[in-house]
Amino acid sequence: MSLDIFVMTLIEDEDGRQLRFDRSVVEQAFASFALDQETDDWQLMNPDGEIVFAMVSVDLDPTITGFSIDRPPAMPTFWDAVYEVLRQTPTVVVWPGRDPSYCVAQRDYTGLVPEDYMKTFGAPVVATCGADILAAVEASV
């Protein structure tokens, strides 16, 4: 896919800063197919061990507000990893496309997605697995 996707928190803490979550959640979700996790840019491998043309960019801090993926691959393990991050953190995945162009893993996204965001972009797609996220992205681009 020739686009960027972003996994991020949309909510703020009591001090008005974007809510943070543990980077280790992302590391664990991508552990089986991401290279160079000790850096801030990871290359990905397909199930055959070949490098795919995609790049995950994640800050080196132990707590982060999100991360981005340039040219996300269509491989199921990638989308399952994105789903695992969404499932375990207060995050959404967003991408450029027709609305809705963002997705959550929790059914109850009250408080996860600000009201003004929903007014602008509509209600999010609710995923129950990685394939749901891929389908939502493909349907809106």
Provide the domain count of the chain: 1
- Give per-residue pLDDT as tens, 94-130: 999 888 899 999 778 777 888 888 899 999 999 999 9
Please say if the pLDDT value at position 24 is more than 90: yes
Calculate helix-pair angle for 76-88, 130-140, nearest 10 degrees.
100
Percent of the chain with pLDDT over 70: 99
Which sign, positive or negative, has the C-alpha torsion 66, 21, 42, 51?
negative
The whole domain housing 134 covers 4-140
